[in-house]
A and B are shown apart, each in its own frame.
Chain A
Amino acid sequence: GEDVEQSLFLSVREGDSSVINCTYTDSSSTYLYWYKQEPGAGLQLLTYIFSNMDMKQDQRLTVLLNKKDKHLSLRIADTQTGDSAIYFCAETLGDGGATNKLIFGTGTLLAVQP
């Protein structure tokens, strides 16, 4: 199927690190993404990783990719209350042409406690 799985909920204390996990479905996905959605808002692209990379760091964000296990994670260092949101991983499915689809994971609600 096309289910991209994430754990539903994560609670951390302000200043701690958060790790959000994702298991995707298509080993041929070229790009994998992390999006953030605050309540009532659209989706904000946080970062993405190309499938030939194992790790990508962007300021407080670190993405790790394990292609063998089809596992993607997002680590947020020094988590702040403003990081509270739903985080979606996403993968592209398709042959690289006009029928490519961006498929989202089930979403993880991150709650940051002050």
Chain B
Amino acid sequence: DTEVTQTPKHLVMGMTNKKSLKCEQHMGHRAMYWYKQKAKKPPELMFVYSYEKLSINESVPSRFSPECPNSSLLNLHLHALQPEDSALYLCASSHRVGGTEAFFGQGTRLTVV
């Protein structure tokens, strides 16, 4: 199983809503990542978790709050987002940070209205 599963696939939320994106992998990977991708742009790193601890926060606004409840799950809690936060949010995992292969999920297409 080389799958990273993200839910939901699509999400529309208002600027006052609170929602969460979920990511799951069962490959035994101990590094998990959140990326943000705007249209026609490369993915931009947001957060890295290594062994369930946050190791990188790329100066992401606090309206994005990551959580890694266990080694298989990664959440991204969203609150008071702006329309410019609309993007494809990609989760990835690898055996360890800087490991040879990072596997990506299909992403959550987020629209903030």
Q: Interface of A with B (CB < 8 Å)?
A: 30-31, 33, 35, 40-45, 48, 88, 92, 94, 96-107
Contact = CB atoms under 8 A, between A and B. Distances in A.
A45 B42 contact: no
Interface of B: 4, 6, 33, 40-43, 45, 48, 50-51, 53, 55-56, 90, 92, 97-98, 100-107, 109
A97 B98 contact: yes
Contacts of B33: 102
What 7 A-B pairs come out closest when comparing CB atoms?
A: A100-B98, A104-B42, A98-B55, A98-B50, A43-B104, A42-B106, A42-B104
A102 B35 CA distance: 10
23 contacts: A31-B100, A35-B104, A42-B6, A42-B90, A42-B106, A42-B107, A43-B43, A43-B90, A44-B104, A45-B101, A45-B102, A48-B101, A92-B98, A97-B98, A98-B53, A98-B55, A98-B56, A99-B48, A99-B56, A100-B48, A104-B43, A106-B42, A107-B40
Contact of B42 (A30, A96, A107): A107
B25 to A, nearest CB: 13
A99 B42 contact: no
Nearest to B45: A101
Contacts, number: 64
Contacts of A45: 101-104
B97 A98 contact: yes
A102 B102 contact: yes
A35 B105 CA distance: 13
Contacts of A104: 42-43
Contacts of A48: 100-101
Nearest to A50: B100
With a 10 A CB-CB cut-off, give which of A48, A102, A104 has the most chain B CB atoms. Answer: A102
Contacts of A102: 33, 45, 92, 102
Nearest to A29: B98
